[in-house]
Amino acid sequence: MKNSLTKTDFNFPNQKGVYHGKVRDVYNIDDDLVVMVVSDRISAFDVVLPKGIPFKGQVLNQIAAQFLDATQDICPNWKIATPDPMVTVGLKCEVFPIEMIIRGYLTGSAWRAYKNGSRQICGVEIPDGMVENQAFEKPIITPTTKEDEGHDEDISREEIIEQGIISKEDYELLEKYTYELFERGSKIAAERGLILVDTKYEFGKRDGKIYLIDEIHTPDSSRYFYAEGYEERQANGENQKQLSKEFVRQWLMDNNFQGNEGEVVPEMSDEFVQEVSERYIELYEHITGRKFEKSDISQVLNRVEKNILEFLKTK
């Protein structure tokens, strides 16, 4: 557990600044490149939990890299190289302050809202009579604001355009990319015996061109069900077997924590941390179809810094 990477504070040549997110540390190199270090931090309910998860950063970074490569024919993306298992270097873009969330199934926070009587999410009407984990007739896009701190907020397509957050022309292109990326991700998941349930995409702009940025189709940004037995479990009213961060959220809820004021994060035992690590590795192997190769984490901070510096010398 002590070898998980939970904090970086590097100082690279031509570094203009650094942004420490919930999971990622993003270094601005000369306002041209970003070096994204995917840490082993884990967040849920917009709260960073107190212990890191070994190999989580490597899992997320390598899944995202593979899917960025597998979708670059759909839309341009920011990735240039992955000089370390936990690092992606890419183009610096002006980030749109909206996350494009797309849902193929009624589950998670959408189901919780639906169960409490809501029949509209982000301006999208949801029909009566649906049950948990049921597929929508067609996937729906439910955007949220992108907040540096605190909770992201639901927002409708109309509000985004009316408030001038994103132009109508740009937003329509984001919608097009979102549907096509989700379709590709769903197809790849199906080939691996999985269902891509919902996910989020982030986009930015550079020189007038829209790019897909950040991570895609990872267990932090996406939810997956096992396809085998899905229909049977639905028919029996059983919970779906899933690979996502939802089991961490569920564990927190079972221990009376949902990120609300006054609630205390439950103690994370070494056994629980190990279990979470194994679940992340399991998803990596399922979604990529590859055996996970654990990197050497004995001096993980030094390794990451060395690999980044060596790459930047070539730029």
Exposed, middle or buried, 258 (CB in 10 Å: 0-12/13-18/19+)?
A: exposed
pLDDT at 302: 96
Kindly tell me if the per-residue pLDDT of 245 is higher than 90.
Answer: no
pLDDT in tens, 41-82: 999 988 999 999 999 999 999 999 999 999 999 999 999 999
Kindly state the tokens that stand for 187. Answer: 């197809």
Kindly tell me if the per-residue pLDDT of 150 is higher than 80.
Answer: no
Kindly tell me if the per-residue pLDDT of 116 is higher than 90.
Answer: yes
In a domain, 120, yes or no: yes
In a domain, 281, yes or no: no
> Distance between CA 159 and CA 170 in Å, rounded?
14
The dihedral built from the CA positions of residue 88, 94, 95 and 96, taken in this order, carries a sign that is negative
Domain that holds residue 208: 96-244
In a domain, 82, yes or no: no
What is this structure's pTM? 0.91
In a domain, 80, yes or no: no
Contact predicate 47/265, CB 8 Å: yes
In a domain, 59, yes or no: no
In a domain, 196, yes or no: yes
Taking every pair of Cα atoms in the chain, the longest distance, rounded to a whole number of angstroms, is 59
Where would I find the H helices in 192-299?
230-235, 246-254, 270-288
Total tally of structural domains belonging to the chain: 1
pLDDT in tens, 121-148: 999 999 999 999 999 999 999 999 987 6
In a domain, 105, yes or no: yes
pLDDT at 149: 61
Task: CATH number of the domain at 184, please.
Answer: 3.30.470.20
Bridge-based pairing state of the strands 15-20 and 24-29 = antiparallel
In a domain, 187, yes or no: yes
CA atoms within 13 A on the CB side of 51: 19
User: Which of 135-144, 175-184, 248-257 is predicted with the least confidence, judged by mean pLDDT?
Assistant: 248-257
Residues contacting residue 20 through CB under 8 Å, at least 6 positions apart: none
